[in-house]
Structure 1
Amino acid sequence: MTFDRSVPAVSLLIGERELNAGSGGVFAHINPATGEHQADIPLAGPAEVNQAVACASEAFEVWRRMPGAQRSLLLNRFADLIQANTQEFIRLAAIEGGTPITVGAGGPRLGEEWTRYYAGWADKIDGQVVSMPPAEELIYTRPEPYGVIGIIITWNGPLISLGMKVAPALAAGNTVVIKPAEQTPFVAQLFARLALEAGIPPGVINVLPGSTEAAQALIAHPEVQKVTFTGGPVTARKILHQCADLLKPAVLELGGKSANIVFEDADISAVAQMAAFWSVGLLSGQGCELPTRLLVQDSIYEQMVQAVAAVAGHLPLGDPFNANTIIGPVINQDACTRILGMVERAKSSGAGRVVLGGERVGGEFANGYYLRPTVLADVDPRSEIAQQEVFGPVLVIQRFKEEAEAIALANSTGYGLGGYIQTNDLGRANRLAAALKTGYVHINGTRNIPACAPFGGIGLSGYGKEGGRPGLDEFIRLKTVSMPA
């Protein structure tokens, strides 16, 4: 299939209004595959945030009173439109973030899945009678939406983040103001337009690419009742400082340094394919729950190092619109500098042995933000590159002898988002699942972030849940009512 590479204009979407300029200025959007300027993105400031929150507050009175069955119908229509526009979402992801078209279908697939899943919850939200006879009072709970939710998402996988946050918020009866990253505004804009096309009332979803000042204004707004954020710990701390001053609740889906633990009874070839693709291939390593640490049992260590490096070295790198490309660029020049700096410090300090990569791609891709897939072996577990999230196509490999050592290594960072276990011994798999300090554990290749399952981390990986009933409950607050029995 041939994709159109034209770049759409971006507006601020407040209700049904589209504003071509904002008080936050303009962001010069650079194509990460070419390094060339391709669009000027209008940025919202506090003035537009105030307008969007007012619009969302007005829409909330309509949306919250709509029967759950009607909200369910509209969300299912929305899911239908996400699915129908799969190719356009793939195209926009390649333009804005350099996501290869070969892997870009994951965004709309998950966006549809999460929207449809929570559409199924919209008419099933109920309270409980909590008193027992012969109590003198009848006591019951009323589940109620918060109101306006402030949603702040980062640039990697924006459609996935939107599905994970917007769908449960709307199913519960809330309205939202979304601040997407200025690096990836195109997908969010299409998302909001499709919601209107589905019949979701104007103002239920508002989208404001914006400056830091806009994010601060959104968090501080008195009518924004809760904040949900996907990003990194540094920004999360700033958000929490604001929320703490206001006693405002927040959900934080942050980074990870997930360990992929491989025991000697695992299928080396299959694990090598999975380990390479899910660390340096998918999204060029720019994913929060990707297994970027490979812990390998001593007896198969060298064999696994060579197998993973061989697979990673043959993953096709290139133009995101090429049907053969698996690895695209990282998001920008700053990311290139940061990632290569971490690899160089690991090399110079003796913290790891570079088996593959560790350099920027030249030639026809020199102007884009391409990094060769990088594999480091014998990595010191105390080193920066073993402890800190790289968020790029870098895999670190470490050796262990016994189960207890693997657990200690896996739990040795401050993150706790995901964990991966590769073994044919299900007893051992369950022991490790209990021992790992993470919010999610994948055994023998199970997939990431299905809508039906709670997802979220501990420690530096944040708190709160997205997915399943717990993800819906994040957007509901319970009121208790009592009356004479």
Structure 2
Amino acid sequence: MSYDRSAPPVGLIIGERELLSASGGVFAHINPANGEHQADIPLAGPAEVNQAVACASQAFEVWRRMPGAQRALLLNRFADLISANAPEFIRLSALEGGTPITVGAGGPRLGEEWTRYYAGWADKIDGQVVSMPPADELIYTRPEPYGVIGIIITWNGPLISLGMKVAPALAAGNTVVIKPAEQTPFVSHLFARLALQAGIPAGVINVLPGSTEAAQALIGHPDVQKVTFTGGPVTARKILHQCADLLKPAVLELGGKSANIVFPDADIAAVAQMAAFWSVGLLSGQGCELPTRLLVHDSIYEQMVEAVAAVASHLPIGDPFDPNTIVGPVINQDACTRILGMVERARSSGAGRLVCGGERIGGDLATGYYLRPTVFADVDPASEISQQEVFGPVVVIQRFKDEAEAIALANSTGYGLGGYIQTNDLGRANRLAAALKTGYVHINGTRNIPACAPFGGIGLSGYGKEGGRPGLDEFIRLKTVSMPA
């Protein structure tokens, strides 16, 4: 397939209006694959946030009263359009974030899945009778939507984040104001336009690319009833400080340093492929739940290091629009500098043995933000590169001698988002799954973030759930009603 490489015009979407200029200034969007300017993105300021929240508040009175079956119908139409526009979402992901088209197909697939899953919940939200005759009172609960939800997402996998947050919020009867990262505005813009095309009323979904000032205005707006955020712990702390002053609830889906624990009875070749692709290949390592720490039993350690390095070294790197490319660029120059800084500190301090990678790629890719997939072995568990999220194509490998040491190593960071276990011993898998301090455990290659399953972390990985019934409940508050029996 031949892809158009021109960037689309993008504006703010408030109700059914599209604003091509705004009070927050302009963001010069750079294509991460070649370092070239490709679009000027208007940024919302407080004035546009006020307009969007007012629009969402007005739409809420219509949307909340719409029968659940009708909301379900509209959300399913929306899911149909996400699927039908998959090629355009894939194209936009390659343009805005450098996501290879071979990988970008996951965005619309998951966006459709999450939207359709929560469409199924829209007409099944019910309360509970908690006391009835012959008691003195009849007491029951009414599940009610919050109102306007402020949604702030980061730049990696924006369509997936939108599906995880917007679909359950709308199914529950809320309306939303979304602040996408200015680095990735194209996908969110198409998402909002398709919602209108599906018949979702104007104002139910509003999209405002914006700076930190816009995010602060959104969080602080008195008519925004709850905030949900995907990003890093540093920004999350700032959001929580602001929410705390307002006693405003929040859901935080943050970073991870997920351990991938490999025992001798696992399929070494298959695990090596998975370990390399899911850490330094997929999204160039820019994913919150990717297994970026590989913990390997002593008896197979050297064999696994060699196998992972061989796979990582041969992952095809290049143009995101090339169907042979697996590894694209990281998001921008700042990311390059930060990641290479962590690699250099690990190398110079002796925190680990650099097996492969650890450098920026030159030649035809020199103008883009390409980093060679990097493997560190014999890594000190207390080192920065073992303890802190790199968010780039870097995997660290450590050895363990028994289950107890594997558990201790896996639980040795402040993060707790995902964990991975590779073994054919069912008893061992269940013992470790119970012992890992993490929100999700994957055993023998199960897939990430299916819509039906609760997803979310502990510690530095945040709190609250996305997915399953718990993900719907995040957007519902209960009212208790009692009357004489």
**Is TM > 0.5 for Structure 1 vs Structure 2?**
yes
1:254-333 equivalences under 5 Å are 254-333=254-333
Q: Please list the CA deviations of residues 451-479 of structure 1 after superposition, one character each: whole Å capped at 9, or x if unmatched.
A: 00000000000000000000000000000
How many residue pairs get matched?
A: 485
- The runs of at least 4 consecutive aligned structure 1 residues that moved more than 4 Å come to none
Secondary structure of the corresponding residue to residue 200 of structure 2: coil
Corresponding residue number in structure 1 for 2:176: 176
Per-residue deviation, 1:234: 0.2
Distance 1:289 1:130 in 2: 39
Corresponding residue number in structure 1 for 2:373: 373
Corresponding residue number in structure 2 for 1:409: 409
Distance 1:274 1:74 in 2: 38
Q: Please list the CA deviations of residues 139-194 of structure 1 after superposition, one character each: whole Å capped at 9, or x if unmatched.
A: 00000000000000000000000000000000000000000000000000000000
Q: Please list the CA deviations of residues 44-82 of structure 1 after superposition, one character each: whole Å capped at 9, or x if unmatched.
A: 000000000000000000000000000000000000000
Corresponding residue number in structure 1 for 2:96: 96
Per-residue deviation, 1:327: 0.1
Secondary structure of the corresponding residue to residue 265 of structure 1: coil
Q: Please identify, of 304-313 and 126-135, the stretch whose mean Cα deviation from structure 2 is larger.
A: 126-135
Distance 1:474 1:398 in 2: 37
Distance 1:135 1:309 in 2: 68
Distance 2:319 2:438 in 1: 35
Q: CA RMSD in A?
A: 0.4
Per-residue deviation, 1:134: 2.2
Q: Please list the CA deviations of residues 258-290 of structure 1 after superposition, one character each: whole Å capped at 9, or x if unmatched.
A: 000000111000000000000000000000000
Distance 2:157 2:359 in 1: 24
Distance 1:338 1:263 in 2: 33
Distance 1:423 1:7 in 2: 46
Distance 2:6 2:129 in 1: 56
Distance 2:45 2:222 in 1: 16
Per-residue deviation, 1:133: 3.9
Distance 1:362 1:298 in 2: 36
Distance 1:461 1:169 in 2: 21
Secondary structure of the corresponding residue to residue 102 of structure 1: helix
Corresponding residue number in structure 1 for 2:187: 187
Q: Provide structure 1 residue ranges, at least 5 long, that are not aligned to the other structure.
A: none
Q: Please list the CA deviations of residues 15-50 of structure 1 after superposition, one character each: whole Å capped at 9, or x if unmatched.
A: 000001010000010000000111100000000000
Distance 1:119 1:206 in 2: 19
Secondary structure of the corresponding residue to residue 252 of structure 1: strand
Distance 1:2 1:302 in 2: 43
Corresponding residue number in structure 2 for 1:430: 430
Per-residue deviation, 1:247: 0.1
Q: Please list the CA deviations of residues 338-393 of structure 1 after superposition, one character each: whole Å capped at 9, or x if unmatched.
A: 00000100011100000010000000000100000000000000000000000000
Distance 1:169 1:144 in 2: 11
Secondary structure of the corresponding residue to residue 113 of structure 2: helix
Distance 2:405 2:249 in 1: 38
Per-residue deviation, 1:6: 1.0
Q: Please list the CA deviations of residues 413-461 of structure 1 after superposition, one character each: whole Å capped at 9, or x if unmatched.
A: 0000000000000100000000000000000000000000000000000
Q: Please list the CA deviations of residues 72-113 of structure 1 after superposition, one character each: whole Å capped at 9, or x if unmatched.
A: 000000000000000000000000000000010000000000
Per-residue deviation, 1:135: 1.0
Secondary structure of the corresponding residue to residue 130 of structure 1: strand
Distance 1:314 1:164 in 2: 33
Secondary structure of the corresponding residue to residue 130 of structure 2: coil
Corresponding residue number in structure 2 for 1:229: 229
Per-residue deviation, 1:132: 4.7
Secondary structure of the corresponding residue to residue 22 of structure 1: coil
Distance 1:432 1:130 in 2: 38
Per-residue deviation, 1:211: 1.0
Q: Please list the CA deviations of residues 202-231 of structure 1 after superposition, one character each: whole Å capped at 9, or x if unmatched.
A: 000000000110000000000000000000
Distance 1:264 1:88 in 2: 43
Distance 2:131 2:430 in 1: 38
Distance 1:449 1:279 in 2: 16
Distance 1:25 1:351 in 2: 43
